[in-house]
């Protein structure tokens, strides 16, 4: 990939030309200093023109209007902006959007299959594990990756897996229980929340 | 399409219509929806990322606004030059203090804030200039081009400093110097109470300030449209109060041209309860530029908004009988209020109000002082003003039990405030399940066999158990501004499709208040709560609800919803009765049907019932409203503390302490919470667990720490750690195992007997941790947070043969010398008092508006 | 929202091209590996390169190679998550694998590679703040200002070495490969660092750290023990890296102890090392060695938690790290 310049640094750099575009370009296809690129988000291509200093978080929220991905610090300190790139949960506030081009990006909006929620989404809803719901997308993107690799995670593995996702509402317990419940349901078990977790001891 | 699995639904059970319009028999156990773990109305959206928070909104031609904030802690503004900033390409609007000259504040008695400081800055972070531009970066860059000349003033850094320095005054109102408020209330006969005591203890405590740290950073979108109407979408817990503040500061824009829509809050915890400068500035900027304007705060700016827990110094003197029965309490609190009033007047009273609601205190003297300092303003955080005294008194009671050789659980059980009683300060207690709460956590934790005996573990660490209790309000008995109108209103619209739409001003901050409406209305009308449409927190569309603060929504909104629903039910019943030829009183509303209780086959679907009613009575709409019962306290200051009901909590915390370093962990917590009745089991559990979590954070690590440095004669006074990384909050790895007990002691003032849930259980965490540390290693930390270094310091003191304690000086020097003046003297109910102060100067009676 | 300043972004295809770009742009250029350290710093305007050179397309930096000797060569761009779960590392280099696991959070470890962790910027609570915050203290000498707020009389910056892997890698005598304009050199990890909060590296700015070499397993044992408030997220406020060589009788023949989070580089606890060599690891010897550790440390009030306490508990932590090498 050639160097791509931001607007202030090199205001008149050559625009990045879309592959497959006609050989003769009559007019610039993007503003100077912007990159034109195709993102593969939730299985769909999205063509976006954006300056190269934009993070994946900014492009998802502000260019693609996928506002399900949240932000709480923009410094990698909270986990609310977690998305999956190549199936790996990462902090979208610390990844340049250009580095996500050509790689599958998965956001919370793409989890459900049509109206059908994932087992983890169902479990979080059943247990009231999304209170304000602000950390929930990040939690989902992190924990879904865990469940993909491990269909029987222990409580300790769940704790460790979510040790980069802050939540201020739930005290995490309903989230842990939801991951366990979802894992059991994914294994085909007729699992229900325990009486203690719903009604107390 | 069925979105939710109906198999989780309980089998419908018939229920006869009650005769009284909205007084339910709280003992009835045939409820269809109440208490069941039904999903929240917004659960699916929230787990799908579809909930639109304020910063998720955009409008065409929207501008982005940034605030230039003060870089000095205390100064006069000499000059502001915005010319260069205004000239930057992309900048569309610049505002300074002179554009917004009208002050505001949440309480009528402290209208001391400006959206942009006109002539004075009072803390690092106080906003001075607002700039809007086409891009957020441009606005930020433009802020760097503004020149502000300050003339620095002496900084007032804390409680002792404020008490010792009357000049410079931060504000030209208040009691005197930098004292914002002084309260001095005496109930009963203190001298007599202490004379009857067999043992008197006096201790000093300090509770450091901490902040809410909601995951969502505050954001506001304002749009002044071409019809002259202003709409403000904001992450606020109190759209009604924001509406009032906008109407005041944007004068002469009429109040009815302003619409406030509170977006779902990404966590609030009290931190989004004040009207904020950025909200007002965004509105004004939209009026100036004629374009939509958004501001989304950075994490650091959220720390500047603050309004969190006040740092409070406390000195408590308590007298007890041989058996540990409290005979008198003399309590002083000194609050570091930060730079502005905020809710501070209420906060000050709250450090004294609920002492009598947990344990019976026959003779009680409360003195409270709030100071102005050059810090981000303090305000209400979960528990508002009550966790600090709760910490002091619960630790002190533990010490007393220790002094007298009593069981800390027993001494509490022996001091319980009686149910259905009036306290010394005229608070009316209804249901009271603290005794049950204590018994639950004592039994669950193995308290009687394990306390004091855990000692050294195989891993070389020491384990201990600590117990503490609390009570909390179900909403404040009085509104923030004096008026005679309801605290909460609900409107219902019944559509021919069978749809029921509920309109209410309440705001969902994650606690589930939207769902509370659905559950209650669904129960009364016998319909699926998830089929009810809930429209909330929109001042154009919804009747006023005062907001999501002081745990008021379940009781107040709930009662209003119940009234509206029962009125709707009566209308529908009339229509159905006429059609079926059955007396209305015999009709049952359940399972989406209306039918004859004596012949259940005789009936109709809910939708048919609505149509029958509309045919008979015309378009169907009802209203319900709620005002709390009048307070028995009539003395000045008696307005803070009364509530329709009080929740109770008891906790046992287990700690494991590394005695070589003071580092400790909390492996397990047992928490019991008397909430009257759980309207939704799973959601109530979530509130309790969340309280345990947040209390644990306050107990172990959270604090608003400031850097206080002097360099070349200039004092630097700035928040030390305004970031999510360095302001420490517990992660998944610190969260202990929690055994939760939901205690249901129904209260007659609550919908279906419900009381508050979710603030109360935060309170006992801090003292229970401190008490557990004592049980484990025999040292006292009389300060919150009970951080590792303090445990270590106390352990070192113990090793050196000194008092095994860390905390503020345990004598009169620990607190500042403040002249509180003469106390207001109030005879207790059992002295024949009528709720007035016998020495209070006569005041002119203000009529309710 | 905090946003990045504008810059030109390069993704060179070879190490040589990367070095050429870095040389060409001089002070304007910085390498980026995972971005988890650089981008927050750029958002707060501590580091404001106008040329950012990403190493993700440079070949040969993404693998872990185990040699016949058991020694390991780790490419600088190998993500921490991969190292954390690497079977050979977990088995033969448990101290190092543990240190990797102690870094920040799982999400960050999914992004951050080992090279970036080795070159992590020094940290300080007067420095790791927003531009606005630093304006309110009139900045500091590490960026935009004149004085060191931690020690205002000091001519130097006291920002803190905060990488978790550095103390243990230095103690293990791991080596790194640097590719520069004039060729490639291999140096001991220890030699990569300087005792200065600002210029904390000895490598030239355009030199590219490409590989880390772990010495073959042998008669030595390394450990890492981290002091911090929470078991995730937090940087070390003390990170003890210890490596002890023992003979058949359990006598220490060589000892390397490095103190991270206690100064601007991983400080050798020389007194501790001396007390260990020639002795068996008895409880008493370990306690004594621990007590001597903090003499060279420069613990100051620029991290989390109380500075007095940090100094007081350090000997306990050093002793525990040593005990873990038994």
ipTM metric: 0.97
Neighbour count for residue B499 (Cβ, 10 Å)? 14
d(CA C8, nearest CA chain A) in Å: 4
Judged by CB atoms closer than 8 Å, whether chains meet at C309 and B662 is answered as: yes
Residues B523 and B586 in one domain: yes
- Model confidence, pTM: 0.95
B 107-136 residues inside an 8 A Cβ radius of C:
124, 136
The CATH number of C8-57 is which of 3.30.43.10, 2.40.50.100, 3.20.20.70, 3.40.50.10490?
Answer: 3.30.43.10
Instruction: Quote the pLDDT of residue A5.
Output: 55
Residue B143 CA to residue B146 CA, distance in Å, equals 5
pLDDT tens per residue across span C8-25: 999 999 999 999 999 999
Instruction: Report CA-CA distances (Å) from B666 to A39, B272, B657, C303.
Output: 45, 30, 9, 24
Residue A144 in contact with partner chain C when CB distance is under 8 A:
no
Instruction: Quote the pLDDT of residue B712.
Output: 82
Residue A63 in contact with partner chain C when CB distance is under 8 A:
no
d(CA C3, nearest CA chain A) in Å: 8
Mean pLDDT on C221-246: 98
Instruction: Report CA-CA distances (Å) from B354 to A18, B81, B205.
Output: 68, 50, 18
Residues B230 and B339 in one domain: no
Which three-class secondary structure string do you get for B772-800? Answer: HHHHHHCCEECEECCCHHHHHHHHHHHHC
Instruction: Report CA-CA distances (Å) from C317 to B791, C289, C324.
Output: 17, 11, 11
Residues B396 and B252 in one domain: no
Question: Is residue B536 domain-resident?
Answer: yes
Alpha helices in B165-273 (DSSP H): 190-195, 239-249
B 132-151 residues inside an 8 A Cβ radius of C:
136-137, 140
- DSSP 3-state assignment of A182? helix
Residues B771 and B739 in one domain: yes
Judged by CB atoms closer than 8 Å, whether chains meet at B299 and A174 is answered as: no
Instruction: Quote the pLDDT of residue B714.
Output: 83
Residues B376 and B399 in one domain: yes
Check residue B631 and report its DSSP letter.
P
The dihedral built from the CA positions of residue B224, B225, B227 and B229, taken in this order, carries a sign that is negative
Question: Is residue B841 domain-resident?
Answer: no
Judged by CB atoms closer than 8 Å, whether chains meet at A6 and C6 is answered as: yes
Any idea which residue has 């009835």 for tokens? B28
Residues in chain B where the model's pLDDT stays below 50: 1-27, 846-849
Residues B586 and B493 in one domain: yes
Q: Could you say which of A73, A126, A160 has the minimum Cβ distance to residue B724? A: A73
Instruction: Quote the pLDDT of residue A18.
Output: 44
Question: Is residue B286 domain-resident?
Answer: yes
Any idea which residue has 């007084």 for tokens? B23
Residues B391 and B375 in one domain: yes
Residue C221 CA to residue C238 CA, distance in Å, equals 20
Q: Which residues of C touch B792 (CB under 8 A)?
A: 309, 312-313
Residues B230 and B335 in one domain: no
d(CA C152, nearest CA chain B) in Å: 8
Q: Which residues of A touch C107 (CB under 8 A)?
A: 76, 79, 82, 89-91, 142, 164-165
Q: What angle do CA B615, B616, B620 make, to 5 degrees?
A: 75
Q: Could you say which of B72, B136, B725 has the minimum Cβ distance to residue C233? A: B725
Any idea which residue has 């998550």 for tokens? C81
d(CA A200, nearest CA chain C) in Å: 28
- Domain endpoint, select from B575, B606, B626: B626
Write out the residue range of the structural domain in which residue B559 sits: 7-36+487-626
Question: Is residue B557 domain-resident?
Answer: yes
Pairs across A and C, CB distance < 8 A: 106
User: Within chain C, what is the greatest distance between any pair of CA atoms?
Assistant: 61
Residues B617 and B646 in one domain: no
d(CA A83, nearest CA chain C) in Å: 10
Residues B677 and B573 in one domain: no
Judged by CB atoms closer than 8 Å, whether chains meet at A164 and C56 is answered as: no
- Domain endpoint, select from B271, B297, B323: B297
List every span in chain A annotated with CATH 1.10.150.120.
119-191
Question: Is residue B317 domain-resident?
Answer: yes
Residues in chain A where the model's pLDDT stays below 50: 1-2, 7-28
Closest to B672 in 3D by CA, of B655, B656, B653, B654: B653
Instruction: Quote the pLDDT of residue C312.
Output: 95
Answer yes or no: are the C-beta atoms of B308 and B270 closer than 8 Å: yes
Residues B651 and B506 in one domain: no
* CATH classification of the domain holding B518: 3.30.365.10
Residues B409 and B497 in one domain: no
C 133-162 residues inside an 8 A Cβ radius of B:
133, 135-138, 147, 149, 152
d(CA C137, nearest CA chain B) in Å: 6
Full DSSP string of C189-203? GGGGB-S-SSS-B-S
Question: Is residue B823 domain-resident?
Answer: no
Q: Which residues of C touch B137 (CB under 8 A)?
A: 3
The CATH number of A1-108 is which of 3.40.228.10, 3.10.20.30, 3.40.50.1360, 3.10.20.90?
Answer: 3.10.20.30
Q: Could you say which of A7, A9, A74 has the minimum Cβ distance to residue C43? A: A74
Pairs across A and B, CB distance < 8 A: 203
Query: Given a contact as 3+ CB pairs under 8 Å, which chains touch B?
Result: A, C
Tell me the backbone φ, ψ of residue A33, rounded to 5 degrees. Answer: 85, 0
d(CA A16, nearest CA chain B) in Å: 22
Instruction: Quote the pLDDT of residue B29.
Output: 58
Closest alpha carbon within chain B to A115: B3
Spell out the CATH class of A119-191: mainly alpha
Q: Which residues contact B693 (CB under 8 A, 6 or more apart)?
A: A168, A170, A171, A172, B730, B735
Closest alpha carbon within chain B to C4: B137
Domain count along chain B: 3
Residue B785 CA to residue B699 CA, distance in Å, equals 5
Q: What angle do CA B757, B763, B769 make, to 5 degrees?
A: 130
Strand partners, B231: B223, B259
Judged by CB atoms closer than 8 Å, whether chains meet at B725 and C234 is answered as: yes
Closest alpha carbon within chain B to C320: B660
Q: Which residues of C touch A79 (CB under 8 A)?
A: 105, 107
Q: Which residues of C touch A (CB under 8 A)?
A: 1-11, 34-36, 39-40, 43-44, 50-51, 54, 56-57, 81, 104-108, 110-111, 231-233
pLDDT tens per residue across span B215-226: 999 999 999 999
* CATH classification of the domain holding B274: 3.90.1170.50
């Amino acid at each position: 990939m050639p160097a791509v310049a931001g607007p202030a640094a090199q205001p008149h750099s050559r625009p990045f030309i879309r592959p497959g575009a006609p050989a003769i370009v009559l007019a610039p296809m993007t503003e100077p200093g912007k990159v034109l690129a195709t993102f593969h988000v939730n299985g769909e291509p999205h063509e976006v023109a954006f300056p190269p200093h934009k993070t994946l978080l900014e492009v998802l929220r502000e260019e693609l209007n996928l506002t399900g991905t949240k932000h709480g610090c923009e410094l990698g300190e909270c986990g609310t902006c977690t998305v999956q790139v190549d199936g790996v949960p990462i902090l979208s506030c610390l990844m340049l959007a250009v580095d996500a081009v050509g790689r599958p990006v998965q956001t919370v909006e793409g989890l459900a299959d049509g109206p059908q929620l994932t087992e983890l989404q169902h479990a979080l809803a059943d247990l009231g594990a999304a209170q304000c719901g602000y950390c929930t997308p990040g939690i989902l993107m992190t924990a879904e990756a865990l469940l993909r690799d491990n269909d029987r995670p222990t409580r300790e593995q769940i704790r460790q897996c979510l040790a980069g996702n802050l939540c201020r509402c739930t005290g995490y317990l309903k989230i842990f229980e939801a991951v366990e419940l979802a894992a059991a349901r994914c294994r085909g078990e007729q699992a229900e929340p325990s009486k203690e977790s719903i009604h107390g001891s | 399409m069925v979105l939710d699995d109906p198999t989780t639904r309980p089998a419908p059970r018939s229920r006869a219509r009650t005769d009284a319009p909205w007084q339910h028999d709280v003992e009835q156990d045939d409820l269809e929806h109440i208490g069941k773990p039904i999903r929240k109305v917004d659960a699916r959206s929230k787990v799908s990322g579809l909930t639109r928070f304020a910063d998720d909104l955009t409008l065409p031609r929207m501008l982005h606004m940034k605030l230039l904030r003060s870089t000095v802690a205390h100064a006069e503004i000499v000059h502001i030059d915005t010319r260069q900033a205004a000239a930057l390409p992309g900048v569309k609007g610049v505002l300074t203090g002179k554009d917004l000259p009208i002050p505001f504040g949440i309480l009528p008695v402290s209208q001391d804030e400006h959206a942009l400081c006109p002539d004075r800055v009072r803390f690092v972070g106080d906003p001075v200039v607002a700039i809007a531009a086409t891009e957020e970066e441009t606005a930020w860059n433009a802020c760097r081009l503004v020149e502000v000349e300050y003339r620095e003033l002496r900084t007032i850094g804390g409680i002792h400093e404020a008490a010792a320095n009357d000049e410079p005054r931060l504000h030209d109102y208040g009691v005197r110097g930098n004292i914002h408020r002084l309260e001095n209330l005496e109930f009963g006969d203190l001298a007599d109470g202490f004379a009857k005591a067999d043992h008197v203890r006096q201790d000093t405590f300090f509770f450091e300030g901490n902040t809410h740290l909601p995951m969502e950073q505050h954001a506001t979108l304002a749009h002044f449209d071409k019809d002259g109407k202003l709409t403000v979408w904001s992450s606020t817990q109190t759209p009604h109060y924001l509406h009032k503040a906008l109407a005041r500061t944007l004068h002469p824009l009429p109040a009815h041209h302003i619409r406030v829509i509170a977006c779902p809050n990404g966590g609030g915890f009290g931190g989004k309860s004040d009207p904020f400068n950025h909200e007002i500035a965004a509105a004004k900027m939209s009026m100036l530029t004629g374009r939509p304007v958004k501001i989304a705060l950075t994490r650091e700016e959220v720390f500047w908004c603050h309004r969190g827990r006040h740092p409070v110094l406390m000195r408590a003197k308590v007298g007890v009988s041989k058996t540990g029965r409290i005979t008198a309490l003399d309590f002083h609190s000194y609050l570091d209020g930060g730079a502005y009033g905020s809710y501070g007047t209420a906060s000050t009273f709250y450090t004294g109000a609920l002492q009598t609601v947990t344990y019976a205190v026959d003779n009680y003297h409360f003195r409270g002082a709030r100071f102005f300092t050059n810090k981000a303003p303090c305000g209400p955080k979960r528990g508002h003003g009550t966790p600090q005294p709760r910490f002091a008194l619960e630790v002190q009671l533990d010490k007393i039990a220790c002094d007298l050789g009593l069981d800390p659980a027993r001494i509490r059980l022996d001091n319980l405030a009686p149910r259905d009683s009036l306290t010394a300060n005229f608070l009316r207690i209804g249901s009271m399940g603290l005794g049950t709460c204590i018994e639950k956590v004592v039994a669950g934790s193995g308290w009687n066999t394990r306390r004091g005996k855990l000692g050294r573990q195989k891993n070389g660490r020491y384990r201990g158990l600590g117990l503490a209790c609390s009570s909390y309000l179900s909403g404040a008995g009085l509104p923030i501004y004096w008026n005679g109108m309801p605290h909460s209103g609900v409107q219902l619209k019944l559509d021919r499709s069978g749809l029921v739409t509920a309109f209410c001003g309440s705001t969902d901050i994650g606690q589930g208040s939207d769902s509370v409406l659905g559950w209650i209305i669904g129960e009364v009308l016998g319909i699926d709560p998830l089929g009810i449409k809930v429209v909330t927190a929109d001042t154009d569309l919804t009747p006023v609800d005062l907001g999501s603060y002081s745990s008021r929504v379940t009781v107040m909104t709930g009662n209003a919803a119940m009234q509206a629903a029962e009125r709707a039910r009566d209308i529908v019943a009339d229509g159905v009765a006429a059609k079926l030829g059955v007396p209305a009183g015999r009709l049952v509303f359940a399972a989406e049907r209306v039918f004859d209780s004596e012949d259940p086959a005789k009936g109709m679907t809910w939708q048919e019932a609505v149509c029958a009613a509309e045919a008979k009575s015309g378009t169907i709409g009802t209203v319900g409203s709620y005002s709390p019962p009048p307070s028995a306290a009539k003395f000045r200051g008696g307005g803070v503390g009364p509530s329709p009901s009080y929740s109770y909590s008891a906790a046992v915390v287990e700690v494991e302490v590394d005695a070589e370093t003071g580092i400790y962990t909390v492996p397990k917590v047992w928490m019991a919470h008397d909430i009257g009745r759980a309207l939704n089991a799973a959601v109530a559990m979530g509130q309790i667990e969340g309280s345990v979590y947040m209390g644990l954070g306050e107990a172990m690590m959270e604090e608003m720490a400031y850097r206080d440095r002097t360099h070349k004669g200039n004092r630097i006074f700035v928040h030390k750690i305004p970031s999510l990384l360095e302001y420490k909050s517990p992660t998944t790895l610190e969260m202990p195992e929690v055994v939760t007990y939901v205690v249901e002691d129904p209260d007659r003032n609550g919908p279906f007997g419900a009381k508050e849930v979710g603030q109360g259980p935060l309170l006992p965490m801090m003292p229970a941790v401190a008490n557990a540390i004592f049980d484990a290693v025999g040292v006292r930390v009389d300060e919150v947070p009970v951080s590792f270094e303090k445990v270590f310091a106390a352990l070192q003191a113990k090793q050196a043969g000194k008092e095994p304690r860390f905390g503020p000086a345990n004598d009169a020097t620990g607190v500042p010398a403040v002249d509180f003046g003469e106390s207001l003297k109030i005879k207790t109910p059992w002295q024949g008092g009528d709720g007035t102060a016998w020495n209070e100067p006569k005041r002119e009676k203000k009529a309710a508006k | 929202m905090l946003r990045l300043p504008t810059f030109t972004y390069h993704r060179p295809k070879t190490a040589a091209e990367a070095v050429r770009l870095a040389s060409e742009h001089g002070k304007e250029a910085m390498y980026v590996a995972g971005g988890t350290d650089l981008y927050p710093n750029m958002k707060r305007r501590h580091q404001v390169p106008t040329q950012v050179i990403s190493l993700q397309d440079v070949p040969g930096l993404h693998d872990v190679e185990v040699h016949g000797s058991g020694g390991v060569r780790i490419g600088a761009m190998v993500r921490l998550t991969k190292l954390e779960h690497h079977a050979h590392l977990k088995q033969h280099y448990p101290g190092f694998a543990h240190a990797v696991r102690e870094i920040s959070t799982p999400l960050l470890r999914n992004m951050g590679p080992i090279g970036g962790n080795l070159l992590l910027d020094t940290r300080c609570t007067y420095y790791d703040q927003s531009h606005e915050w630093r304006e309110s203290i009139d900045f500091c000498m590490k960026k935009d200002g004149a004085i060191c707020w931690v020690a205002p009389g000091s001519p130097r910056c006291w920002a803190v070495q905060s990488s978790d892997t550095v103390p243990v890698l230095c103690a293990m005598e791991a080596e790194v490969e640097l590719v520069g304009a004039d060729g490639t050199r291999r140096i001991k990890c220890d030699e990569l660092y300087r005792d200065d909060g600002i210029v904390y590296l000895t490598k030239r700015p355009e030199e590219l750290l490409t590989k880390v070499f772990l010495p073959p397993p042998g008669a030595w044992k390394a450990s890492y023990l981290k002091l911090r408030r929470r078991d995730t997220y937090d940087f070390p406020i003390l990170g003890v890296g210890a490596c002890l060589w023992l003979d058949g009788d359990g006598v220490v023949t060589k000892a390397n102890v490095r103190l991270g989070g206690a100064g601007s580089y991983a400080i050798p606890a020389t007194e501790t090392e001396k007390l260990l060599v020639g002795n068996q690891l008895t409880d008493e010897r370990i306690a004594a060695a621990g007590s001597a550790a903090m003499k060279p440390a420069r613990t100051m009030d620029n991290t989390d938690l109380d500075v007095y306490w940090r100094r007081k508990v350090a000997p306990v932590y050093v002793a525990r790290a040593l005990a873990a090498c038994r």
